[in-house]
Amino acid sequence: MIKHLFKLVWNRKRTSFLMITEIFFSFLILFGVTSLLVYVWQNYTKPMGFEPERIWYVNVDWHDTPEEVVRPNLDQIVKRLESLPEVENVALASGNTAYAFYTNSTAIKYDNKFYQANFFYQQHGDFQKTLGLKMASGRWFKEEDASSTKDPLIITQDLERKIFGIGSAVGKTVGEKDNRQLIIGVVKDYRSAGELQEDIGTMFMTMSLADTSAWLQNVLFVRIAPGTTPAFEEKLVKEATSIGKGWDFNVRHMDDMRTSYFKTYLTPTLAFVLISVFLILNVGLGIFGVLWYNINKRYPEIGLRRALGASATSIYSQFLGEVLVIATLGLALGSFFAIQFPLLGIFNVVPDVYLLAMAISMFLIYALVVLCALYPSHQAAAIHPATALHEE
């Protein structure tokens, strides 16, 4: 039966080639869209490690104020804000966190290998309590760590797995000979790039404001107490400005930053999906039209087969089988190109994304083709032999 179907497809090479080409390009478009959606969904389902609600991101601009004035003022601002009843925790840290659209990456060296990581500084306060990070093992920084002879380091759990496999990272020393860091703790999760992007893992370091060799950080992370209204923003800025006179404090609510982040990344994605759906639907209509035209041209063949005793079911199965053979040939050609993505490591995405996208795309293409073929095949099976032969 299958051999006969291939022969029928071969006998109508021109029509079959047109449909195979349409299915081939439809699969590639669908594979691209599905790969993107699978990638975004897999990232979205991973735990963030913190809740953005009630966290305010305060960017400090001290303009041309001398550094020897900035350092003690920042210290006083953190302490002043911590004393306010509307504030739970405050941390002065680097701004490369989720939804900030700012990254700062570096490499960790261990066992003569380099591992890429997001590089995050805590300079004052307690970033762990402010964002509610959970420790998987070890501990968070203490005040005395900022002046330690061996720089203490905290990494995320995904980075621990990447570097040490199933072994524990706590107590291990990493880095170059002249710049060694001791890992003192491992954080469960911290998605520094946001939910929709793949995270390379984060390493946390601490620096003292009193250390003049340390680069000053200019972002205050403030966790607001439950029930605090947005009106508190004016009070917060007023309290900070009373110490940092002439400074600018730009306050952004992290849940608003999250909304902006989703709009930025999802808007082009949704536009791409809508355009692709429109193209796929047009291909589906094209396949439907070709099948309909093909059946009208094959009236005599269908009538003769029915007159020779072929059942409606066998006619129905034949046309449906032909379409499935054509779809399989188009998908086989498309899969050859799609499989190059995981094999060559294109876009540096894990192979699982591409393989799952291929499986979903194949299923959808087969579903589309069968759906387009159902009605024309049903019409072919319903042709009465006497009517077809009379028309001939």
The kind and range of the H/E element at 108 are strand 105-110
Helix (H, G, I), strand (E, B) or coil at 41: helix
- Which tens digit of pLDDT belongs to each residue from 215-257? 889 999 999 999 998 889 999 999 999 999 999 999 999 999 9
Instruction: Answer yes or no: is pLDDT of 8 > 60.
Output: no
Answer yes or no: are the C-beta atoms of 370 and 67 closer than 8 Å: no
- pLDDT number for residue 60: 95
Contacts of residue 101, Cβ cutoff 8 Å, sequence gap at least 6: 261, 264
Instruction: Answer yes or no: is pLDDT of 40 > 60.
Output: yes
pTM of the entire structure?
0.81
Cα–Cα dist 128/305, whole Å: 77
- pLDDT number for residue 250: 95
> Can you tell me the mean pLDDT for 19-38?
88
Pair of tokens at residue 384: 């009465």
Cα–Cα dist 185/203, whole Å: 10
- pLDDT number for residue 150: 75
Contacts of residue 110, Cβ cutoff 8 Å, sequence gap at least 6: 163, 164, 172, 174
The kind and range of the H/E element at 83 are none
Answer yes or no: are the C-beta atoms of 365 and 287 closer than 8 Å: no
Cα–Cα dist 293/315, whole Å: 16
Residue 72 — pLDDT band, cuts 50, 70, 90?
A: very high
- pLDDT number for residue 321: 77
Report the chain's mean pLDDT, rounded to a whole number.
85
- pLDDT number for residue 87: 94
Instruction: Answer yes or no: is pLDDT of 258 > 90.
Output: yes
Most distant CA pair in the chain, distance: 102
Pair of tokens at residue 74: 């920042």
Residue 386 — pLDDT band, cuts 50, 70, 90?
A: low
Alpha-carbon distance values, 392 to 154, 202, 303, 312 (Å): 82, 75, 9, 20
- pLDDT number for residue 299: 61
Q: What are phi and psi of 105, to 5 degrees?
A: -105, 155
End-to-end CA distance of the chain: 27
Cα–Cα dist 269/370, whole Å: 28
> Can you tell me the mean pLDDT for 42-53?
89
Low-confidence winner among 122-131, 183-192, 307-316, 356-365 (lowest mean pLDDT):
307-316
- pLDDT number for residue 257: 94
